[in-house]
Structure 1
Amino acid sequence: MATMSRTWTIVTALAVLALQLCNGRKSCNIWSSAERPVVQRGSSFEVYCTFNCKCQGTMYSDHPPKPQSHTELNSTTIYVRVANITKNRTYSCQCRCSPELDPCGLDISAGYLPERPKNMSCIYNVKDNERGVVFCTWNTGRDTFLRNESVLWVKTVSKNHTDEPLRHKGSTKGTGLSSASFPVSSSVRLISVWVEAKNQLGSAVSITINYTLGDIAMPSTPVLGQPGCSSRKCIMEVEQSVRTQQLEIQYRAAASTWTSSPDSVVQTSLVQNRSVSSLEPYTLYHFRARSKFSSGLWSQWSANISSWTQEEAPATELDVWYAAAASDSIRVYWKEPNISTARGRIVQYKVGVDSQKSGSVFLANVGADARSYSVQFCADCEVKVWACNSKGPSPPARITSRHTKVKIQQDVHVNVDNRSVTISWRKHDTAPPHAAYVVEWYPEGNKLEELRWVRLGRNDSHAVLTGIKPFECYEGAVHVFYNESSVSRTGFTGVATLTSAPAAGPSAQETVEGNHVTVTWTEIPRGQRGGCVTKYTIYLEVDGKQQRHFFIAASEERMHIIKDLSPAVYSLWITASTVEGEGRPGQKVNFFIQQKTQLSPLILCAVIAPVALLLMCLYHSSAVKQRFWVYFQCLMLDVVPDPANSKWAKECLQEKGKMNLHLQLSNSSVTEEEDEPILVNVEELPKKSGDVCAPTDVSSRLLPQTSLRPETEPATVLYPLTNYIKSFSHDSDSSDHTQTSLDTNTTVDYISSHGLGNMEEEEEEEEEEEEEEEEFAEMLGFFPSHNIFIEPMEFGGKLTLNAVKIDCSDFFLSEQ
């Protein structure tokens, strides 16, 4: 049973294998007329397919397969003609058989024959005194698009022996270069080398090159140690594997070119120290080295090493300039010195002043980041600035603003393009050899903040301004120094590389005064000006309809007065313009011009009425009137006309008739109980034709003035209630002091022209007025109690100063 089971298993396996073999059969056979799967590019051939069963066969090409237009050779064979093949191709054939069979295919590679290797060179790298390695490279030519193989053949010749050629496989790099290396002993003197290149299409052999190893010998790359440097010199250690006859050390600062050291290169040992001199202080230097035998090739450059030289005190003064900060001060500017000038890291700047009167004065130590300093300046002062590093200060840079102005106008031209600004001028042939130019420039209105300048020599006639920002307006000047004390200055303005219309408008403010308005405005922010502003335009709108505009040239004033505006509601706004056009309008402001108004009669009445009422009240106050009369008389001239000698009095003496005035004089003994009125009898005579009517006889008698107690109010008036003649010595009606009696030589001061008919009525009015005056006097306690006028005076004729004589002596007596 076991044997039968094993036999059945074998039979089954054979059946399965036979089935698999049957399924692995091809449905066709494929071949080409080129007879091999590799052909040269550009060749032509046919590809045939013969089918193993009766079917309709099809031929395909490339990936993915594409049907090809074929030709039937016979009932079982088809073919396709391939012309001028340029790349690798794949062909396949397929037909439907029963059972199903696999298709057949053919891969054809297209390429070129290898070219003859060329540009072969060899180098003998000497490792030590016993051995070395020869390294050869060559150019394999164009790409063959096939798998290539290069072989280097080498034949060595020793003193008395020639070796058989040895084969060394070369390696190909992507750059089209191939290389190979092989060791040689120190006994080899000559070598012969050639290269064979081959692929599936064929092979090519280079020419044979013979080398003397001494001619291609190259020492190993030197190794440099870290240099030790002073301010002017660096010393470093150099190590080599073999002794050479030449050693070259190069150095450079930053990105400058390499410079070879001129020091001796004779080697005495494998490790030695080499120095490099003529260096600059405080500079980062890079070093490298290479070596060479007495013949042969230079070694490869060593790796770069770097080191700083030490510092020295700065050797040259700073580049300084100045700008006037105020009438008695200047701001001194300086440029940061470069490394070669500074000779070290600047730690601070020192500023001082030299004066012929007070000598040198130290002002301040300024930080290393500072670039300016403000100084109080005097007529004979000179400002000095030093740059200091760890080794000391630089020579002082001197600046003075007290120069004699030379009246020579430079012919300055400005040339602007989109990237740069060039300032040029005409040179003066008479300028001394030591003449110098300074060109300064700065953004408009920002001289103290962003001043820049450049110094030029006598032979220079132009300067290219740097750091010019687009859409920024610049101004500046060209200074010519003829000697230490004389200078001329020619300014330039309106310089901009790129320009656009302003992006914003000025902010306006108005001040209205009557029918005038004063308009002021602020500058547009620098970033929105678009360049140099050439003009401002003020737009004035009346009642939202009519518009007027005013053009104002750009200046530092930024103010304009609009006059003679009619009453209305106004609006105004301002725009700024550059050469590219007008910018956006600024914010609109509104204002109102009012109608000119005079004080109306009602307002005048409202103002005058209280004043008139006050004057009337004061007028009815006897104390106020008396005080006013006292001041008025005292201001009059001392020489007063005498009424008795006046023209009026003399003419009236010619009149017939008489005027009798009976005046009761007061006496100091009279008490306040007196209630009899003082009557004045007036008799008027008819006036003749052509004469002036006036009294002819005036007589009066004065009684001593009555002394009254302050608290007592008199019941009657002491004097007649009519126009009268009264002496100042009788005016006091409330005095505590007894006045001197004036019984004789009494002067008649005032002459009444009233008749007697009005005396009673006037007497009543007098009483009312005195009551009002006393009440007003109590209210105004500071007024004096003397009466000046009691009633207004009226005269029948004309009364002039020539007809009146006033005697002030009584007044002074009454005040005693």
Structure 2
Amino acid sequence: MATLWSRWLLTILLVIVPACFAPAPPASPSLPECSIPCGGEYNCVDIHCSWEPRPDLEIPTNYTLHWKPANEEGDVINETIFNGIIRRVHFNHGELRVWVQAKNQHGSARSQDALFHTADIMKLLPPKVSLVNHQESLEISWNPTCDDQQLSLGKCDVRYRTEGEQLWLEDQNLLHVSYTVDSPEPSTVYEFQVRCSCDKGLKSNWSAIHNIRSTETAPEGELDVWRDCGISQKIADCFVTWKKLPISQAHGLILGYEVRLSYSNRAPVLENVSTAEPKDQLACEETHCHFTSSLKDISSVSVSAYNSRGATVPSYLATPIPGKEKNEQTIHLVMNEENLTVSWDLPSQLSDNLKEYVVQYKEAGGPPGRGFDWIKVEKSQKTGIFKGRYKKCTPYQVSLFTVSNNSKVHHLSSVIGYSLQGIPSRVPSFKVTSIATTHVTLFWESIPLSKQEGFILYYQIIVESGADGQKVYNVSVTSPQQEDETFELLHLRPGHEYEVRTRAVTVAGPGANETTKFKTKDDEDFGPLVAVVPVILLLVVICVIVFLYSYCRGETKACPPVLPCFSNKVPDARNSHIFRHMKHQFNDSFGWICIPVNEPQPKISLLEVLEPKPRASKSFLKKPSDPDGLTKLVVGDGSSQVDCQGEQREEAVKEEGHGTDHRYGREEYSKMIDSDEERDREEENREECWSSSEEEQSVTGYEKHFMPTAREVQEV
């Protein structure tokens, strides 16, 4: 049973489906329109018919025109394609019935019948139009062709429009041969057409379009003036710009602009720039113009437009409020290739000084005037809408400003928008700036805003090493106009080679990679130290030699000219700088000659000298006040005094001759003789000059040689 049902259903489908997809007959043509044209090349005899064919481009179709008298049977056929002419010999005056038939290989179709009287389808040529331009109106007149056919004038239609418009304004069934347009727009081109009929027949075709320009008047209103500062908003990059006047305000052909520039340090300048022969000072786009001189050092600007009849009142450029630009309000963008909608939040309380908002957009990297527009919005509104064509993957900076009643401009906010985002380009530069054992610092230049192709979400750092594998870091971007980026790679292996790649990422995906390679330093890298240490040691040796030479060198005759530091003689303790300085502090008014400048003078506050008791073979002088041979000398801080006796005695001792130290008059320690005779001789010379060879009684020879005697201390 199921098999029979399936066969029956299949049979039905085989019959229906081919019928559904089989080629159909042609569509029916439109109702034919017929007339008897008169004048010119037409003889007012034959009937001309036309219709709108509806052919199938894949299947050839033939069209034939059929007609017959309305009150007779049978027909006379004139076959033609797309149009047809019924010759006078093929019809009689009176009522006719006309139709069109379309036919192809799959069938035929017929239009509706057109029924008319041959006397009512006469159509004359269009009238001849003349134009008159008055000061306050436009007037046209025409000459109908009814007189040529000895017919009376019927009714006429007139239509007109301004140049560039698509729609016509039409007045119909006029009984006169003139028409006036009152109060036309000044200096505007108007287009006119006229058609007429006679007392019998059809209205003629429309005449050719006739143009007439209205009279100019002085322009009215003010120019919409603003500034184009590019992306930076720096005054040195700003140019004054203005929108062209619409036709309704220009009232004629704008011949040029007057730009008045006021400077802070010199007299104002009036520039007259012509639109007929633009100079370097004026550049005009489709809807606006700008002055090519920068606004740097300019305090105020005014612009006016003029034609042959007059000029507009000057429009002044609003002055920006000085100070650093900063974003104070959030704005929102909805942007595609044809529309840009900008919205913001109104303040809770509108300021009485607020006049309006200004919303502008600027193509990043574009020259002045190109990719730039602005609109002014009432202070009670919070939305601005732009119409235009916005490039794909191109950044546009959208900014919001306020203008006060005293023409002060305040920048509120700026954001970057894209109609469509793409994949960013490669970073311009990528390198390693510093390398250590376990970390390196990476540096790369950010992609310029004009080449970012979209919002850069982050820069991706990909690190590859044979030992550590692959690691990925995402570095966020703080600003779309950031100039450069740095990143520090940590926890690296010493002495290992690494390959690093970086790329920018947008919502459309990552861009191309930029690659660099480096090798970290080893743990113990003594190479630089080995090269530096010998140099340091050499400098230390030189410094020590120079110091010793400066320390031991005598500067005047009071100081020994020979270097005692390098003498083969045994040094004398009484020549100690400390001891001699002590003497100079109290006795020598010219002691500064022998004291090196670079050695500070010592200050001795308390000196305790212990004299040993005399031996049996030696005689000592002992003061009564010191029965035990102990003498205390207290020296306080006082003014420096000079005793030149020591210097004189040194000179005398040097003259005594041989066996002594020629600098200090003291024998070497190994040759010293402790005798009463020598001691007596030194005691006699003590009052004249300080002795440099007086011996002390000491327990040991070392103390006798290096330590000052008690008398020497007491004399001080």
What range is the shorter-chain TM-score in?
0.5 to 0.7
1:610 aligned to 2:542? yes
Q: Deviations over 1:736-756 (max 9, x none)?
A: xxxxxxx99766497988999
Q: Deviations over 1:211-246 (max 9, x none)?
A: 595x65654311235x57588755666343335364
Aligned counterparts of 2:63 and 2:433: Cα–Cα separation in 1: 95
- Paired residues for 1:72-221 under 5 Å: 123=35, 135=47, 137=49, 150=66, 152-153=68-69, 171-175=78-82, 179-180=86-87, 191-193=94-96, 211=117, 213=119, 218-221=123-126
- Offset of 1:619 from its aligned partner? 4.8
Distance 1:146 1:718, change over 3 A: closer
Whether the 8 Å CA contact 1:439–1:463 is kept in 2: the answer is no
- Offset of 1:371 from its aligned partner? 2.8
Whether the 8 Å CA contact 1:135–1:182 is kept in 2: the answer is no
Comparing 607-616 and 576-585, the one that deviates more: 607-616
Residue 29 of structure 1: aligned partner: none
Residue 562 of structure 1: aligned partner: 488
Whether the 8 Å CA contact 1:658–1:683 is kept in 2: the answer is no
Distance 1:616 1:304, change over 3 A: same
Distance 1:424 1:720, change over 3 A: closer
Residue 400 of structure 2: aligned partner: 478
- Offset of 1:289 from its aligned partner? 1.7
Selected match of 1:453 from 364, 371, 374: 374
1:386 aligned to 2:304? yes
Aligned counterparts of 2:303 and 2:81: Cα–Cα separation in 1: 63
Q: Give the partner amino acid of 1:250.
A: R
Aligned counterparts of 1:798 and 1:563: Cα–Cα separation in 2: 74
Q: Deviations over 1:324-344 (max 9, x none)?
A: 553677432334445555455
Residue 333 of structure 1: aligned partner: 241
- Offset of 1:302 from its aligned partner? 0.9
Query: TM-score with structure 1 length normalisation?
Result: 0.53
Distance 1:197 1:539, change over 3 A: closer
- Number of residue pairs the alignment of both structures matches: 574
Distance 1:580 1:141, change over 3 A: closer
- Offset of 1:511 from its aligned partner? 3.4
Residue 316 of structure 2: aligned partner: 398
| Secondary structure of 1:476's aligned partner | strand
Q: Give the partner amino acid of 1:442.
A: K
Aligned counterparts of 2:461 and 2:513: Cα–Cα separation in 1: 10
Distance 1:530 1:508, change over 3 A: same
1:315 aligned to 2:220? yes
| Secondary structure of 1:605's aligned partner | helix
| Secondary structure of 2:320's aligned partner | coil
| Secondary structure of 1:622's aligned partner | coil
| Secondary structure of 1:614's aligned partner | helix
Whether the 8 Å CA contact 2:364–2:396 is kept in 1: the answer is yes
- Paired residues for 1:40-79 under 5 Å: none
Q: Deviations over 1:126-160 (max 9, x none)?
A: 669xx9658475989999x99978565599xxxxx
Residue 259 of structure 1: aligned partner: 169
Selected match of 2:356 from 428, 433, 436: 436
Q: Deviations over 1:524-580 (max 9, x none)?
A: 366753311121234456799666554332221423253878765665442111123
**What percent identity do the matched residue pairs reach?**
18
Whether the 8 Å CA contact 1:409–1:488 is kept in 2: the answer is no
Aligned counterparts of 1:557 and 1:197: Cα–Cα separation in 2: 76
Aligned counterparts of 2:367 and 2:715: Cα–Cα separation in 1: 82
Residue 673 of structure 2: aligned partner: none
Whether the 8 Å CA contact 1:152–1:193 is kept in 2: the answer is yes
Whether the 8 Å CA contact 1:435–1:483 is kept in 2: the answer is yes
Distance 1:447 1:653, change over 3 A: farther
- Paired residues for 1:344-355 under 5 Å: 346=254, 348-353=256-261
Distance 1:261 1:796, change over 3 A: farther
Aligned counterparts of 2:363 and 2:617: Cα–Cα separation in 1: 101
1:533 aligned to 2:448? no
Distance 1:238 1:598, change over 3 A: same
Distance 1:289 1:621, change over 3 A: same
Whether the 8 Å CA contact 2:64–2:81 is kept in 1: the answer is no
C-alpha RMSD of matched pairs (Å) = 6.3
Whether the 8 Å CA contact 2:318–2:408 is kept in 1: the answer is no
Distance 1:575 1:317, change over 3 A: same
Greater C-alpha radius of gyration: 1
Whether the 8 Å CA contact 1:152–1:180 is kept in 2: the answer is no
Q: Deviations over 1:247-295 (max 9, x none)?
A: 444332124222347999723xxxxx86655443454443322223467
Q: Give the partner amino acid of 1:529.
A: Q
1:584 aligned to 2:512? yes
- Offset of 1:303 from its aligned partner? 1.7
| Secondary structure of 2:546's aligned partner | helix
Q: Give the partner amino acid of 1:607.
A: L
- Offset of 1:439 from its aligned partner? 2.0
- Offset of 1:315 from its aligned partner? 2.9
- Paired residues for 1:512-661 under 5 Å: 512=434, 519-524=442-447, 529-539=452-462, 550-554=473-477, 555=479, 556-560=482-486, 562=488, 568=495, 572-588=500-516, 590=518, 601-619=533-551, 621-623=553-555, 630=593, 632=595, 647-648=606-607, 651-652=609-610, 656=614
Whether the 8 Å CA contact 1:148–1:197 is kept in 2: the answer is yes
5+ long unaligned stretches in structure 1: 1-111, 156-164, 199-203, 268-272, 661-681, 709-713, 725-742, 760-792, 806-816
Aligned counterparts of 2:707 and 2:403: Cα–Cα separation in 1: 96
Distance 1:255 1:414, change over 3 A: same
Selected match of 2:290 from 371, 375, 390: 371
Aligned counterparts of 2:617 and 2:421: Cα–Cα separation in 1: 105
Whether the 8 Å CA contact 1:471–1:497 is kept in 2: the answer is yes
5+ long unaligned stretches in structure 2: 1-24, 56-60, 102-109, 148-152, 274-280, 562-590, 634-644, 669-684
Q: Give the partner amino acid of 1:584.
A: A
| Secondary structure of 1:609's aligned partner | helix
| Secondary structure of 1:610's aligned partner | helix
Q: Give the partner amino acid of 1:257.
A: L
| Secondary structure of 1:588's aligned partner | strand
- Offset of 1:605 from its aligned partner? 1.6
Q: Give the partner amino acid of 1:498.
A: L
Whether the 8 Å CA contact 2:649–2:690 is kept in 1: the answer is no
